Amino acid sequence: MNYPDLQVDWLKCFVAVVDAGSLSGAAPELHRSQSAASMQLKKLEAAVGRQLLVRGPRQHQLTPDGQVLLGYARRILDLHAEAQAAFHGEELAGRVRLGVPDDYAATYLTPVLKRFAPRHGNVEIELDCEQSTSLIPRVERGDLDLALISRDHARRGTLLFHEPMVWVGAPQFDAWRRDPLPIAVYENTSLARRSAINSLGLQGRRYRVVYNSSSLAGQIAAVESGLAVAVLTRCSAPPHLEILGSAHGLGPLEPMEVSVYRSRASRGSKAVDSLHELLIRTLRISESA
C-alpha cells in the first residue's frame, strides 16, 4: 500500500510550531508567513491522516498522535541535518564547557549528548556537575559556556520546561509522621530548600532541619536511612522511595523553571551554538507537550 511521503519542510514546520508554541511564533524562524506555515501543517496532517495539534488558549497543544509523530520528526530532521553536514557542512571542533545539576544529568542531558557526539566527534565536552546555585555564577563569569539550570530569575537563560518537585520518604520508616517533621535540605540558597520551607510555612507545620548536603546522593541517603523526608525533582526521585503528598500531611510544591543558560563569553563559538540549539530543540518538548 502506498502512503503519502512526509516532506521535510512539513516536518520542520511541525517541530518549529511545537517548539515556539504557536504558528505566529514559528513563522519568523521558518521564513514563511503564518498562513503558509498553517498550510504546511494541514498538508502534514492530511498525509498522516491524523490531527496533530489543537489550538489552545495561549499556544498549540500536541494531540496524542502529535506526540508520537514529534519523536519521529525530530529523528528524521536530525538525520537529514547529519546527511547535509556530511557533504556540505563545516566540521565543528573545539571545546564546550557544560554544567548540569546531578538530578538533570541522566534524564535530560544524556539523550542530548547521545545525539550531539556522533555528529561532532571533534568537539570536546567538558562536563561539570554542581547545583544550579554554583553553576549560575560560573556561567556569568565565563567559566562555563552553557549550563542546564533551575533558574531563579526570568532573565537567566531560555526556558525549556517546568520540572515538578516532590516530597519523598522511605515507606518503612514513616518519617513524615514525626513532629516536628525532620527534613533533609540543600544549601541555604537552594530553590528546593526554599520551596520546602515555604510549603511547610503555609501549612503551619513544625519542622527541623536534620541534614544538610549539596549532594543529591546525600539527600537520597538521608531519606533511605529514615533520618528525614526531602524535596527532590521528580526526575531524580528513586522508584523505591515513596512520593508523599496531602495524604501524608504535606502540601504542594512549586515546580522548577529549567532553562539553558549561556555565557556571553561563548558568543562566536560554533560548537557552543550547535549544542545550545540542540538543547533547546530537544528539551523544549516538555513545555509544549
Q: What is the pLDDT of residue 46?
A: 94
- The type of residue at 221 is A
Whether residues 154 and 270 fall in one domain: yes
Q: What is the pLDDT of residue 56?
A: 73
> Kind and range of the H or E element at 170?
none
In a domain, 49, yes or no: yes
Please state the rounded mean pLDDT for residues 251-272.
93
Nearest one of 289, 175, 168, 146 to 233, comparing CA atoms: 168
Q: What is the pLDDT of residue 286?
A: 39
Domain that holds residue 262: 91-160+257-288
| Cα 274 to Cα 272: distance, rounded to the nearest angstrom | 5
In a domain, 151, yes or no: yes
- Average pLDDT over the chain, rounded to an integer: 90
Please state the rounded mean pLDDT for residues 264-275.
92
Whether residues 155 and 261 fall in one domain: yes
Between the ranges 39-53, 78-92, 113-127, 267-281, where is the mean pLDDT highest? Answer: 39-53
Q: What is the pLDDT of residue 281?
A: 82
How do strand 256-262 and strand 146-150 relate by DSSP bridges?
A: antiparallel
Residues paired with residue 185 on neighbouring β-strands, in sequence order: 212
Tell me how far CA of residue 13 lies from CA of 73, 85, 89, 226, 231, in angstroms: 10, 20, 22, 51, 39
In a domain, 2, yes or no: no
Which CATH number do you get for residue 73?
Answer: 1.10.10.10
pLDDT, tens digit (0-9, with 9 covering 90-100), for 176-196: 999 999 999 998 889 999 999
In a domain, 1, yes or no: no
Q: What is the pLDDT of residue 120?
A: 82
Q: What are the E-state strand segments in the chain? A: 53-55, 60-62, 94-100, 123-129, 146-150, 158-163, 165-169, 181-185, 207-212, 229-233, 242-244, 256-262
- The answer to which of 84-93, 126-135, 156-165 has the lowest mean pLDDT is 84-93
Q: What is the pLDDT of residue 63?
A: 93
- The answer to which of 8-12, 49-53, 185-189 has the lowest mean pLDDT is 185-189
| Cα 289 to Cα 271: distance, rounded to the nearest angstrom | 28
Domain tally, the chain: 3
Whether residues 63 and 190 fall in one domain: no
Q: What is the pLDDT of residue 98?
A: 98
Nearest one of 211, 203, 218 to 248, comparing CA atoms: 203
Band (90; pLDDT cuts 50, 70, 90): low
More confident residue, 213 or 100: 100
Band (164; pLDDT cuts 50, 70, 90): very high
Q: Which three cell numbers stand for residue 55?
A: 489550538
pLDDT, tens digit (0-9, with 9 covering 90-100), for 110-134: 888 988 887 788 899 999 999 999 9
> Has residue 173 got a pLDDT over 90?
yes
In a domain, 3, yes or no: no
Q: Which three cell numbers stand for residue 197?
A: 520551607
Number of H helices, E strands in the chain: 11, 12
Which CATH number do you get for residue 239?
Answer: 3.40.190.10
> Has residue 209 got a pLDDT over 80?
yes
In a domain, 221, yes or no: yes
Whether residues 59 and 47 fall in one domain: yes
- The type of residue at 39 is M
Whether residues 190 and 234 fall in one domain: yes
Please state the rounded mean pLDDT for residues 41-49.
95
Q: Which three cell numbers stand for residue 33?
A: 508567513
Q: What is the pLDDT of residue 289?
A: 37
More confident residue, 21 or 139: 139
Please state the rounded mean pLDDT for residues 219-224.
96
Whether residues 229 and 176 fall in one domain: yes
Whether residues 211 and 267 fall in one domain: no
Tell me how far CA of residue 28 lies from CA of 25, 89, 180, in angstroms: 7, 23, 55
Whether residues 186 and 250 fall in one domain: yes
Give the distance, in angstroms, between the CA of residue 226 and the centroid of all CA atoms in the same chain.
30
Q: What is the pLDDT of residue 117?
A: 83
Q: What is the pLDDT of residue 88?
A: 67
Band (171; pLDDT cuts 50, 70, 90): very high
Model's pTM, two decimal places? 0.70
Whether residues 69 and 111 fall in one domain: no
Whether residues 169 and 240 fall in one domain: yes
